[in-house]
Structure 1
Amino acid sequence: MGVIIKQSAYASIINYIGVAIGAVNMIFLFPEFLSKEELGLTKAMISMAVILSPFAQVGLARSTLRYFPRFNKGPNSSGRFFTFVLIMAFFTITLFIGFFQLIDQWIFEFFEKNAPELIHQYWLIIILAAIMVYISIFEAYFKAQLNVVIPTFIREFLLRILSSLLAFIYFLDVISFEWFLRFSIATYAFSLLLMILILLFKGQLRFDFSIFHLKKSFIKEMMKYMVFIMAGAVGSVIVLQIDQLMVTGFLGLKENAVYVIAFFMGTVIEIPRRSISQMSDAIIANAFENERLDEIKKIYKQSSINQLILGSFVFILVVINLDNIYAIMPSGDDYSSGKLIVIIIGLSKLINMGFGVNSEIIISSKHYKSNIYFVLILATLTIGLNVILIPKYGLTGAALATFASVFLFNLIKMIYIYYKLQFHPFSIHTLSAVLLSGLCFFIVSIVPQFSNPILNGAYLSILTVMIFGLLMLFFKPSKEITKIIQPIRDKFNL
């Protein structure tokens, strides 16, 4: 776990800086610079591109991560493999666009009544989906070389800074909203180009077009893997993204703006998981390749308890400050109906973290084929729950559908891993972490508070850090987290 902890630490720092920028964007800049309809449309476009991109990618990014260790024996071997992946991506994107032309009218009919503006951005969405395919492939290439810092910096920091600048330029009437959307897509193309240039500069990207030297048996194996992974990836994306599009279709762009801001606050809780899972991904793939199951079991348990503790800490910080956040947000009263959504989405993210790196284990194992079945069932369940709950309960219904889907998704994966590999992520420390987090939340929620939202937010946040940190120091539910905060303990003789 040494490499994982080091890279994850750097990536976490970048992630949280990116989250700070994202929070400024979502809580202050976008509500001030964009109308609710404009914000709802922008986020709906991105959500649709995210959902479409796995269809065009056909599992190539995951295949890059899985098979790179097999070809990482020299520049010619790795270059030949990665060149093959890039060429395959061009053909899969082309086939996807052709196929999508046959069914696009049926899909976009859903938005004709409440969000016709989304239909008008058809080609921008398709272009963004294609760019995302190559971004995901190059991110996987970085991860395969145990480097998550650079793609994390580009995705979490650079893209958000560029979004801030574009929103400000639009606010100054330098560009129209249509050009704001076009330049927003261009920032993704720029990030892709930057990743390519960095790899070339570091000498880590070589092209070898002698792809016909690859064994037919390997190509057949990889394509079979791609088909199964694509189905799993599509299902996972649907579970995580479809709610925003269904809110747009059922309730309109304004309601989607309220939902995406609340959803963003809820997803802040999951930041530690992104860093840990990114690095664990490559290590797990390597461990399966070399049949080191004990290492995978160890990572599974460590990821579960560490993610649960870190996620619980952020969850408490977010929920305890909800009133303060909406009080200082521009037009906060217009968006404050999303408070309950923040809590429900936050709990779903916390559950996802508590189950550890179960997706990474299944997809990297020889049992990857089975991933397709319960992911597709779950995707169907997610869509069904949204169809039932959104018309009845509005935004809360969308959040509840996400919560139920995420819980069932993780429960099914955990049971399957235990059945096939005979290990699970939980221990007595899981229970102690939950109880300690609940105790911390209870204490902070009953203390007297200030009327000034900024002062109150700072006060509650400092109090949460102190109480949560002390509880973790004394009860030590995680060895890894105890080691990280050991210097604080020694300094104050705790």
Structure 2
Amino acid sequence: MFLFPRVFIDQPEFVGEITTLLAAATVISTFAHLGFPVSLVTFFPRLRNEQQQSFWTLALFACLFSSLLLLISGLILYQFNSFWLGPIGYVLLLSVSMLFFELFAALSQHSNKVVFPQFIKNTFRRLIILTALIFAALNEQDQDLFYLILSLGYLLQLLAVILYSIPQLPGFRLQWSEINLREILTYGLLIMLASGSMLLVSRLDILMIRSFLGKAPVAFYNIAFFTGTIVSVPPKALMVSIRPYLSKAWAREDLKEVSSLYRKSALTQLAISGFIFMLIWVNLDLTLFIIPESFQFDTFAAVVLCIGISEMVNSATGSNGLILSISNRQAYNFYTGLFLIVFTLVGNLILIPSLGLLGAALGSLIALSSYNIVKLLLVHRFFRLTPFSTSFWKLLIVIGLSIIGLSIIRYSPLPLVWNLLIGNLFIVILFLILYNFTDTLDDFKQMRIPGLKSKSKK
């Protein structure tokens, strides 16, 4: 958000190209792993050790085959136009790195070891980009050097997660008759299509902005987009953590435990995303001091507001997508994904030409909200489960009213320093009140920092 505009201050087109390259690699890797990472976490609790070995061997062979197909496709494209060797080579390298990263991370996830893989995915990858930016800045904005360091960094993160996963390796076994191949492959295909549709939607606005408005607006929009999606980073990590517990509860047919996890995750995610969004919204004007004027646009705050609220809705609906994916109703994730693609495409076709970048953000808000409401209704219809509790509704009302109040403070005629002071102080006081005098943040009270002893009553 902050360094790209500074290093490539006169090259917003290149910043847009990087965004497109990373988006393409993410989408390609999602389709290339054929849904095996998610299938692994879902099916492993139901399999014996020998079956797990057969499944793992099958997953490795499938991912190696997909990587080979990607390599052949890249060589074919290179034969048509050698100019594309650089971009295609980087996309393929990043795609294969992401593909095998997800597979080995899923193995650790099954063993409830999710912290290190999530650190690599959500933090270390940012450090890779930071390193590439520093070297590019020291070498007169060398774009090829940036891509080279980025690619080497992604290979390094793959090596790190492989080494971390070695103790969890189930072994290798070529007797696939012991597992239900049809069920696993069908499930993986549906998961792949559902995940791919979600990623396509998250990057569809980028592609359509580039089509309607040009390359540079992609870079402008991306800064506001990532500012808003900061809201979703902790909840996404929580969803990765909760998946193996949901899978094991479902394997035991323990719907009571599934319901408990569903409600707790919804409440916790609403709390985390709500408070992060309030902090972003109050301090948004500070962001504009850091971002160069050449990367700013009039509707920056409105775009952040739309993206932030859409991510809050996505978090607050809890684990509905996970429940559908681990149950026998996983096909509905694919159907709702198709609905989301069509809804987003139509919305962007209408809104981007008339409202520009704000139209893309508004289209995402409407599409994601509708998508999550549909999945919420499906989970309730099939399993009679709902993520909403009394504490959830109380917290939702408090956060909604707080955002309105903070908006009034933010747009008041007071000096910026006073707006920041009052707004941030209000958020701190609100958190302390909810933490100490209500039950809405009970899960936070049970958290313990490893290595620290806590006092407990006998």
TM-score (norm 1): 0.82
Provide closer, same or farther for how the CA distance between residues 336 and 187 of structure 1 changes in structure 2, counting only shifts above 3 A. farther
User: Where does structure 1 lack aligned partners over 5 or more consecutive residues?
Assistant: 1-25, 109-116, 486-490
Letter in 2 for 1:85: A
Mapped to 1, the partners of 2:336 and 2:127 lie a distance apart of 38
Which residue of structure 2 aligns with residue 90 of structure 1? 64
Q: Is the 8 A contact 2:136 2:146 kept in 1?
A: yes
Question: Is 1:205 aligned to residue 181 of structure 2?
Answer: no
Question: Is 1:70 aligned to residue 46 of structure 2?
Answer: yes
Which residue of structure 2 aligns with residue 461 of structure 1? 424
Letter in 2 for 1:223: L
Which residue of structure 2 aligns with residue 480 of structure 1? 443
Provide closer, same or farther for how the CA distance between residues 476 and 216 of structure 1 changes in structure 2, counting only shifts above 3 A. closer
CA positional deviation for 1:446: 4.8
User: Where does structure 2 lack aligned partners over 5 or more consecutive residues?
Assistant: 449-454
Question: Is 1:154 aligned to residue 120 of structure 2?
Answer: yes
CA positional deviation for 1:70: 3.0
Q: Is the 8 A contact 2:434 2:441 kept in 1?
A: no
Provide closer, same or farther for how the CA distance between residues 250 and 174 of structure 1 changes in structure 2, counting only shifts above 3 A. same
Q: Is the 8 A contact 2:5 2:295 kept in 1?
A: no
Match of 2:213 among 251, 254, 258: 251
CA positional deviation for 1:80: 3.8
TM-score (norm 2): 0.88
Match of 1:133 among 96, 99, 105: 99
Which residue of structure 1 aligns with residue 18 of structure 2? 42
CA positional deviation for 1:334: 2.8
Pick which of 143-152 and 125-134 moved more.
Answer: 125-134
Provide closer, same or farther for how the CA distance between residues 326 and 174 of structure 1 changes in structure 2, counting only shifts above 3 A. closer
Letter in 1 for 2:30: P
Provide closer, same or farther for how the CA distance between residues 290 and 330 of structure 1 changes in structure 2, counting only shifts above 3 A. same
What pairs up with 1:406-445 in 2 under 5 angstroms? 406-445=368-407
Alpha-carbon RMSD across the aligned residues, in angstroms, is 2.9
Which residue of structure 1 aligns with residue 452 of structure 2? none
Which residue of structure 2 aligns with residue 172 of structure 1? 138
Q: Is the 8 A contact 1:326 1:333 kept in 2?
A: no
Provide closer, same or farther for how the CA distance between residues 340 and 332 of structure 1 changes in structure 2, counting only shifts above 3 A. farther
Which residue of structure 2 aligns with residue 273 of structure 1? 235
Q: Is the 8 A contact 2:12 2:219 kept in 1?
A: yes
CA positional deviation for 1:48: 1.5
Match of 1:385 among 323, 331, 347: 347
CA positional deviation for 1:312: 1.1
Runs of 4+ residues deviating >4 angstroms: 96-105, 117-120, 442-453, 455-459, 482-485
CA positional deviation for 1:281: 0.7
Which residue of structure 2 aligns with residue 328 of structure 1? 290
Letter in 1 for 2:390: I
Which residue of structure 1 aligns with residue 269 of structure 2? 307
Tell me, what secondary structure is at the counterpart of 1:121? helix
Provide closer, same or farther for how the CA distance between residues 245 and 375 of structure 1 changes in structure 2, counting only shifts above 3 A. same
Question: Is 1:404 aligned to residue 378 of structure 2?
Answer: no
Match of 1:55 among 31, 41, 48: 31
Q: Structure 1, residues 130-174: CA drift from partner, whole Å, max 9, x if none?
A: 222111111211111101111011112222112112101110117
Match of 1:124 among 90, 93, 98: 90
Mapped to 2, the partners of 1:321 and 1:184 lie a distance apart of 31
Which residue of structure 2 aligns with residue 263 of structure 1? 225
Letter in 2 for 1:374: T
Q: Is the 8 A contact 1:437 1:468 kept in 2?
A: no
CA positional deviation for 1:260: 1.0
Identity of matched residues, %: 26
CA positional deviation for 1:207: 4.0
